[in-house]
Amino acid sequence: MLRALAPRLLRGCSWAWPSIVLIGVVAAPAWAQEPKSKTSEEPAKKKAADDTVKKDASKKKEAAKEEAAAEEAPAEPDKKPAAIEVFEDPNAEKANKQFAPLPSVAMNPRQLKEVRAMAGGGTPEKDLIDRYVKFYAAQLTNKAAINALIEVGADPPPPPGGAAARGIREASAGLTDPIVSARKANNTAFMTMYTRALLAEAPKLLRNHLVARIETMIALAQTGHQEALDTFVKQLEDKDQTVWVKLWAARGITNIVQTPTGFQELQGGTLAAVKASKALIAFLNQEDLPWPAQLRALEALGALRLAADPTAQTKVEMASAALERLSNPEARPEVRAQAGWALGMLRVTSANGKFNFPLIAYYLGEVAADLGERVASSYATNMTQARYWTAPLLYQVWPALNGLTGVRDSGLLHMPSLPPADRTFIDQVSGLIKPVAKSAVELIKSPAGGREKMAKELSDRVGALKTFLDKNQPSDTKLVPTGKPFPLQAQMAGDAGGSRRMVGAAAK
C-alpha cells in the first residue's frame, strides 16, 4: 500500500546526479578524406558497376521483405541530438571549490565483507559499521578521486583503470549496497545502526565538495529511516545548500513514508509531517528551481498527504502550493501532472472549509489535453518521446482523479469531503480523459501501418476534451473562499506572464 505513494516517474527521466550536475561535452572531430586520383577512381567505378549488375537480382528479392518489415518497424527516431538542459546553481559552484578531506580509516577486504553480510541478516556490530561508513566517507572526500571523476577533459586525463578513477564509484556503491541488502532482508536493526552512522558523518560531508554532498544524500535518502528526517528538513531549509542535495532530501522524505514506521510517524498531521511539508513548500518557492527538483518536491508533498497545517486548516498551504504548479500554463507538463497527482493524494476534510474540487479537475483536463496533443504530434518522428508524454497521463493525471489501489481516500472522486454537486463535473472530466489516455497507449503500441488512424482518433479525443473544458470553465478560481485566485489560461491572455513564469517552462 505504501509503495503506491511513490508515483512512477516518466520514462526516460533519469535521476542519476552526474547527468545533471557534471556534464562534459566533447566535440567529435570531422575527419577529412584525402581526395582520390582519377587513375584510382576508374577501376573502382567499373568494379562498382559490375557489382551492381550481379546484385540486382538479389536486391529485387529482398525489396519485398524490406517493405513488409518497414510496416512493422518502429518510427525512426529523431535524428536531431537531444537538447541538454543546463541548470546553474551558484551553491553548486561554491561547493565544487570546497575540498575538506576526511581522515582515512583502515578497513581490510574481510571487514568490508563482514559489514555487507550483516546487512543481509547478520548481527550488526556498531564499531565495525561506524568504521565502514568512515572508510567510504573519507574516500568520498579524496581530492584525487574527485578530480578523476570531474576532470574528464584534463590533459593528461587520469588513468581510466587507476584507483583514483574508481574511487568515487566504489565509495558510492560501498555506502549504498548495505542499504539495499538491509531493505531486501527487512533488517531494521542493521538499518537503524547504519543510518545513525551515516548521520554522524553527514554534517562533515554535507559541507564538503559537491560530489561528497550528493553521494551522501543519495545514501541517506535510500535508507527510508525516520531518524534521517531532521537532516532532510534541515537541508531543504538551508539557503546555502545546493539544489541537487535538496532534490535527494525530498526523495528521502518520500522513502520514509514508504516504510511502516515512517508512515505512522508522518501521517495524521503530526508536527514532523507539518514541518517537512512546510520545508518542501519553501523549496518549491525557491527562485529558478529546476523542474526535476520540482517533481521530487511535489512527489514528497503528495506522499505526506497533508493539505493544510492542522493549526490553520482553511489556509490549505500545501494544496495551494501544488495548485500553483498545476494551474501554471507555462510550467512543464511533467511538473503540472505531478502537481495534479499530489493534489489527488492530499487528504481534504470538512475542516478545510469549502474546497474547489472542480477547479483542480479542470486543470487536470488541461494537462491531459496538452499531453495528448504532444503524443499525437511526436509519434511520427520520435516514438520514444511519444511514450514519454504518455506516461504522466497514466501515472499522474489518471490517479489524481481516480486514486491508487490500496491508498485510502486517494483521487478526487474518492475524497470523503467531495460534495455530490462537484462529483458530476469531475466524473465528466475523468470520462473524457480516459479515452485520451487509452488512445495514447494504443497509438504507441500500434504497428507502423495503423498509427496514422490511431493518431487521428487521439486528436479527436483531445478535441472533445478541449471543447468540453472551453464550454465549462469554472466561475470560481479560488481553491478556498479565503484564498487567492488561480486565473484560467484564457484570463491570462495578454499577460506578460512574468509573475508566474517558472524555470523549466515547457518548450513552445
CA pair distance 359, 488, nearest whole angstrom = 9
pTM, rounded to two decimals? 0.82
Q: Pick from 223, 249, 277: which residue ends a domain?
A: 223
SS3 347: strand
- Decide: 156 and 188 in contact? Cβ < 8 Å: no
Q: Are residues 352 and 448 in the same domain?
A: yes
String of DSSP letters for 233-249: HHHHH-TTS-HHHHHHH
Domain-embedded: residue 106: yes
Angle at which helices 229-237 and 243-258 pack, to 10 degrees?
150
> 342 with 467, same domain?
yes
Distance from C-alpha of 113 to C-alpha of 48, rounded to nearest angstrom: 63
The rounded distance, in Å, linking the Cα atoms of 218 and 180 is 12
Whether residue 201 lies inside any domain: the answer is yes
* 133 occurs within a structural domain: yes
- Please tell me whether residue 421 adopts helix, strand or coil conformation: helix
Assess if residue 447 is contained within a domain: yes
Task: Say which residues have a Cβ less than 8 Å from residue 96's Cβ, sequence separation at least 6.
Answer: 150, 209, 210
Same domain, 397 and 497: yes
HEC string for 299-327: HHHHHHCECCCCCCHHHCHHHHHHHHHHC
Q: Which has the closest alpha carbon to 502: 251, 321, 365?
A: 321
Determine the Cα–Cα distance for residues 440 and 112; give it in Å rounded to an integer. 49
Question: Within 13 Å of residue 196, how many CA atoms lie on the same side as its CB?
Answer: 13
Q: Widest CA span of the chain, in angstroms? A: 91
Tell me if 364 sits within 8 A of 429, measured CB to CB: yes
Please state the φ and ψ torsions of residue 478, each to the nearest 5 degrees.
-95, 140
**What range does the domain containing 208 cover?**
88-223
Based on the fold, state whether residues 372 and 475 are members of the same structural domain: yes
The pLDDT score that the predictor gives to residue 10 is 53
Return the CATH number at 469: 1.20.1420
Q: Rounded distance, CA 86 to CA 95, Å?
A: 17
Phi-psi region of 309 (alpha: psi -120 to 50; beta: other; left: phi over 0): beta
- Say what the pLDDT of residue 64 is: 44
Residue 365 located in a structural domain: yes
Judge contact between 322 and 339, C-beta under 8 A.
yes
Q: Are residues 326 and 207 in the same domain?
A: no
311 and 219 fall within a common domain: no
Cis, peptide link before residue 156, omega less than 30° from 0: yes
Residue 212 is assigned to a structural domain of this protein = yes
SS (H, E, C) 186-209: CCHHHHHHHHHHHHHHHHHHCCCC
User: Which pLDDT score, from 0 to 100, does residue 27 have?
Assistant: 28
CB-based contact 489:327 (threshold 8 Å):
no
Q: Output the pLDDT for position 86.
A: 85
Enter the C-alpha cell of residue 91: 551553491
Phi, then psi, of 184 in degrees rounded to 5? -65, -40
Residue 165 inside a domain? The answer is yes
Q: Using an 8 Å Cβ cutoff, are 190 and 124 in contact?
A: yes
Cell numbers for 7: 508515483
Is 285 part of any domain?
no
Length of the chain: 508
218 and 326 belong to one structural domain = no
Beta-bridge mates of residue 466: none
Rounded to an integer, what distance in angstroms lies between the CA atom of residue 377 and that of residue 386? 8
Dig out the grid coordinates for 374 from the structure.
504532444
Long-range contacts of range 149-158, CB-CB < 8 Å, 24 or more positions apart? Answer: 149/18, 149/22, 149/211, 150/22, 150/96, 150/211, 152/24, 152/26, 153/24, 153/26
Query: How many distinct structural domains can be found in the chain?
Result: 2
Sequence-distant (≥ 6) Cβ neighbours of residue 161 within 8 angstroms: none
Q: What is the dihedral of CA 177, 181, 186, 191, to 10 degrees?
A: -30
Decide which of 164, 192, 223 is a domain's last residue.
Answer: 223
189 and 330 housed in the same domain? no
The span from the CA of 359 to the CA of 213, in Å, is 40
Q: Which residues pair with 478 in a beta bridge?
A: 485
Beta bridge partners of 347: 306
Q: Are 251 and 300 in contact (CB under 8 A)?
A: yes
pLDDT string in tens for the chain (508-residue length): 445 555 555 533 433 333 333 332 222 332 233 333 334 444 444 444 444 434 444 444 454 444 444 444 444 444 455 567 888 899 999 999 999 999 999 999 999 999 999 999 988 999 999 999 999 999 999 998 998 887 755 555 556 556 666 889 999 999 999 999 999 999 999 999 999 999 999 999 999 999 999 999 999 999 999 999 999 999 999 999 999 999 999 999 999 998 876 566 676 668 899 999 999 999 999 988 999 999 999 999 999 999 999 999 999 999 999 999 999 999 999 999 999 999 999 999 999 999 999 999 999 999 999 999 999 999 999 999 999 999 999 999 999 999 999 889 999 999 999 999 999 999 999 999 999 999 999 999 999 999 999 999 999 999 999 999 999 999 999 999 999 999 887 666 545 444 444 445 554 4
Tell me which of 160, 194, 223 is where a domain ends.
Answer: 223
Distances (CA, A) of 428 to 60, 98, 328, 449, 463: 55, 56, 22, 33, 15
Q: Minimal CA–CA distance to 131: which of 148, 100, 147, 110?
A: 110
Q: Please indicate, yes or no, whether residues 170 and 314 belong to a single structural domain of this protein.
A: no
